[in-house]
Chains A and B, each alone.
Chain A
Amino acid sequence: NAGVMQNPRHLVRRRGQEARLRCSPMKGHSHVYWYRQLPEEGLKFMVYLQKENIIDESGMPKERFSAEFPKEGPSILRIQQVVRGDSAAYFCASSRLRASTDTQYFGPGTRLTVL
């Protein structure tokens, strides 16, 4: 059973471009969480999705950021018009049930660098 897959592992964008980060959860997992990790900081919750639905996006910046988890295919975190402050590691995690009642499995992360 493959683990959580994220791609790309490294992404370089210039200011103003769009960044698309993909997360394929583990087989049988319908709950996906996105986190952002800034240098020297812990992970900050961004959004929680369950197939085709956004359950909690309270940690997501109101502008430029969006997330989806379609019926088919990976979950996508989209950042429009990136700025240098978006440079960070973005991790997704998946679980079979809601993470508080189950185990979250983390992907290896996508490291976004904005030039």
Chain B
Amino acid sequence: AQSVTQLGSHVSVSEGALVLLRCNYSSSVPPYLFWYVQYPNQGLQLLLKYTTGATLVKGINGFEAEFKKSETSFHLTKPSAHMSDAAEYFCAVTLNTGNQFYFGTGTSLTVIP
């Protein structure tokens, strides 16, 4: 079975500072990994995904994530936080043959002016 752990339910960064949101996964076979962002009272929006190929994946809004098989991690980063980045972020995993997506419990990002 697959699962996702997001370390840190709340992260605060200053505007302009590095954003690092952590995600570790568990999967017995090569996973597909995703990061989603959720703004208040809205649905989830895909930021980026890793399926195969290059392990450093670039997404929208300046975010990127790196798939590290040896560490079973898929951490999300952004070099410089913007006020508009304040939101809830979810990491998710599935298999290429899977139907289910397994989501982490989310990390709430606060950006301090």
Contacts from A to B (Cβ < 8 Å) = 4, 33, 35, 40-45, 48, 55-56, 58-59, 91, 93, 98-101, 103-109
Contact = CB atoms under 8 A, between A and B. Distances in A.
Contacts of B99: 48, 55-56, 98-100
Nearest to B106: A42
Interface residues of B, number: 27
Given A56-B99, A56-B100, A59-B100, A106 B105 contact: no
A101 B96 contact: yes
Q: By DSSP majority rule, is chain B's interface helix, strand, loop, or mixed?
A: loop
A48 B96 contact: no
Contacts, number: 63
21 contacts: A35-B103, A40-B105, A42-B4, A42-B105, A42-B106, A43-B90, A43-B101, A44-B103, A48-B100, A56-B99, A56-B100, A93-B43, A98-B99, A100-B96, A101-B96, A104-B101, A106-B44, A107-B43, A108-B41, A108-B43, A109-B42
Contacts of B98: 100
Contacts of A56: 99-100
A45 B104 CA distance: 12
